[in-house]
Amino acid sequence: MRSTTLKGPIGNIHILEASPPVTAGESEPLPVVFVHGMAVSASIWEAQLANLARTRRAIALDVRGHGDSAPPEDGNYAPASCAADVFAVLDGLGLDRVAIVGHSFGACIALATAAAAPQRIAQLILVDPPGDFTKVPVEVHEARIVPYQRALETEDWRAAVETSFNEALTGSRAQTRDRVLAWLAATPQDCLSGMSRGMFAFEAVDNLDRYLAAPGTRAHAIIAPSNTFPFSLHILRPTLTTTTIPDTGHWLMLDAPEAFARELDICLGKESI
């Protein structure tokens, strides 16, 4: 597995990359780009990079402000802005067409990337996506989302975030909980508040519709059992096919890496560039 730094629109972007030996005369399988969610890093995908590297090129990037990637000076973590970093990675590596796998907030980034350039994203795989918070009823928005956003701007911000993450960790293994909470403890306030603002304002359904309206596009979601909210993407758009991995929390690639790898292999199939 290789660690590389590329130039992006706001600074350096760190990536992890793995690939199989090149065999002459064989068609090259579709490369895969992984985008992680809030507070973690590209290393969350290490097991999946190792698995896919048997057959295809696989890349995971540190999202801006995470791991070894530069943070935005203006605090802009909007999914469309983060998508510009994904395109910088694709261009820097000379990748014209890929599959993209995004988890949680990374699913929002993947959606924004796919909607902006569907001709470059042959397949969109959403891993326990957060849904579309712009479709939440006004009373729920005022009662839950607004107070949470306000809390993120106060001195009690860490308690609010830890409560939210602990809810998402319901059903997770102890090792997953420890790893995720350790990452969270190292994540600064401006990063968490900026990503939360971007997530709550992101029109996920519209981006999904725009991507799937383009010819030759495919989307699938791999979800945890708890992802059954009225604003979940697969509920708002029942045509979005899903696979549920049992006995997992939100970070299902850590809770059940082998089961997740099997589902990912099924999704990707044998499609080549």
User: How many DSSP H helices and E strands does the chain contain?
Assistant: 12, 8
Residue-level pLDDT at 28 = 81
Give the whole-angstrom CA distance, residue 155 versus residue 172.
Answer: 28
> Residue 32 is which amino acid?
V
Angle at 215 between CA 20 and CA 243, to 5 degrees: 60
The number of beta carbons lying within 10 Å of the beta carbon of residue 49 is 21
* CA 59, 64, 67, 71 torsion-angle sign: positive
Give the whole-angstrom CA distance, residue 75 versus residue 54.
Answer: 38
DSSP 8-state code for residue 97? S
Contact indicator for 180, 251 with CB cutoff of 8 Å: yes
> Residue 93 is which amino acid?
L
pTM: 0.96
Contact indicator for 30, 268 with CB cutoff of 8 Å: yes
Per-residue pLDDT of the chain in tens (273 residues, 90 and over written 9): 899 999 999 999 999 999 987 654 566 899 999 999 999 999 999 999 999 999 999 999 999 999 999 999 999 999 999 999 999 999 999 999 999 999 999 999 999 999 999 999 999 999 999 999 999 999 999 999 999 999 999 999 999 999 999 999 999 999 999 999 999 999 999 999 999 999 999 999 999 999 999 999 999 999 999 999 999 999 999 999 999 999 999 999 999 999 999 999 999 986 655
Contact indicator for 81, 75 with CB cutoff of 8 Å: no
The number of beta carbons lying within 10 Å of the beta carbon of residue 171 is 17
